[in-house]
Chain A
Amino acid sequence: MINIKDFDYKPGEHEAEKASNSYLMSLIAVIAGLPLPIVNLLATLIFFMGNSKGTYFVRWHCTQALISQFSLFFANTAGFWWTISIVFGDGQVSNPYIAYMITIFLFNLTEFVATIYSSIQIRKGIHLEWWFYGGITQLICKKRT
């Protein structure tokens, strides 16, 4: 699901470090132990905006890291509010609820592993394209002329 591809040019040491950090940003909430799904996305978004004038390689990976956060953000937010409705509202723990929580846990785990792997590889200057997210990034992140 993650393909190693040739980039347009060989990124420099500094570029690889910055690009690698964009993936680490998305892990901030996990490291801080915060259950709020918005924290991940905000951290990545801030890093993305901070590097919007960066080199093509840095921008490309900041974009891929940001987009990959979006889908999980929606799934996690739904799970978060579902839990809140159970604890404070009329909701009840049901089979679909537990199944949903397991599903988002598995998707988050997959993303977590992929993120760490990507961060390590990109730090070495290796260009990685994620399945689906790499394709979207390719469509929206263009090389400046």
Chain B
Amino acid sequence: MKKVTIQGLMLLSLFFISWLGLSQVDWVDLLEIKESSDKLEQKLGDQLWEIYSREADEASNDTILHALDTLMNSICEANNINEEKIKLHVLQKDEVNAFAIPDGHLVIYTGLIKSVDKQEELAGIICHELAHIELNHVMKKLAKELGVSMLISVTTGNSVNGVAEIAKLLSSSAFDRSLEREADLQAADYLTNANIDPEHLANFLFKMSLDGGDYTEYLSWISTHPDSKERAEYIISATGNEEIENSPILADQTWQSIKNTLK
């Protein structure tokens, strides 16, 4: 019995020593795993952006572009996010929608900017999409729903309709509940750090969850982000009783000018 126990312990030790020993090698670097996954994401992001940019024109109004850049940069700065890796695109489309695609592309439709009442609500949506990017939700969703092999075959040109399918998937279907919740809570943090009350994001969600309004037929963002009322509630409860001094990023005049331009 003693002999068997010793042999068992030796076998177990051999296993763990082999594991520990092999762990000392930097396999991730050696097998260039990070580089290949970055390359795949970059290729996919470029291909997808090409499709979206064909569907609608990019907004060319300087006031809108400059204001959104300012919003984005202020949020990134307040949260130590590298703004250079975020590629913001504003498309002229009536749909109320915004979404993230691989490689840090963030697409916002002018319909969404039109539908928000306050700049803080827009900042909230930007924070939510930024959270999806920062938490790597986009690639996780694609890997889960399509599989890594499909993504590779799409980027290598072996799947003709693949990119179009992915484009549709990203702009018109929801992330799963846990990822949405994670992005909402992260967005609330981003907003707090940028001195914006997360309540504004909650208000927007709550408003959109109600029926009616002028934009009902274009509400893609809400249809891809279900259970808006519940989400509004947990954003509020996550913020708790914390007093946040709300300081808008854009000057009132700039915000009004954007709204007037889009009327």
Q: Which residues B1-48 have CB closer than 8 A to chain A?
A: 1, 3-4, 7-8, 10-11, 15, 18-28, 31, 33
Contact B4 A71 (CB under 8 A): no
Interface centre among B15, B21, B144 (most CB of A within 10 A): B15
B19: A residues at CB distance < 8 A: 96, 99-100, 103
A118 to chain B, nearest CB (A): 17
Which B111-167 residues sit within 8 Å CB-CB of chain A?
A: 140, 143-144, 148
A135–B3 contact, CB under 8 A?
yes
CB pair A95–B15 under 8 Å, yes or no, is no
Name the contact of A98 in the complex, choosing from B15, B18, B20, B27 (C-beta under 8 A): B27
Chain B interface: which size bin? 20 to 34
Q: Are A132 and B28 neighbours in the complex by a CB distance under 8 Å?
A: no
A87 close to B (CB within 8 Å) = yes
Q: In the complex, which residues of chain A have a beta carbon less than 8 angstroms from the beta carbon of B20?
A: 99
B8: chain A residues within 8 A (beta carbon)? 132, 136
Q: Number of A interface residues, CB 8 Å? A: 21
CB-based closest 5 A-B pairs: A99-B22, A135-B4, A98-B27, A132-B7, A99-B23
Q: Is there a chain B Cβ closer than 8 Å to A36's Cβ? A: no
A71-B11, A102-B22 provided; 19 other pairs, C-beta below 8 A? A87-B148, A88-B143, A93-B28, A94-B28, A95-B26, A96-B19, A96-B23, A98-B31, A99-B20, A99-B21, A99-B22, A99-B27, A103-B15, A131-B7, A132-B10, A135-B4, A135-B7, A136-B4, A139-B1
Q: In the complex, what's the smallest C-beta–C-beta distance from B79 to chain A, in angstroms?
A: 20
Interchain Cβ contacts under 8 Å between A and B, 16 examples:
A71-B11, A87-B143, A88-B143, A93-B28, A94-B28, A98-B22, A98-B28, A98-B31, A99-B23, A100-B19, A102-B22, A103-B22, A135-B4, A135-B7, A136-B8, A139-B1
Establish whether residues B22 and A93, one from each chain, have CB atoms under 8 Å apart when the complex forms. Answer: no
Report the minimal beta-carbon distance from A66 to chain B, rounded to whole angstroms. 16
Binary A-proximity of B193-227 (CB < 8 A = 1, otherwise 0): 00000000000000000000000000000000000
Please report the C-alpha to C-alpha distance between residue A71 and residue B24 in the assembled complex, in whole angstroms.
Answer: 24
Most chain B CB inside 10 Å of its own CB: which residue of A95, A96, A100, A136: A95
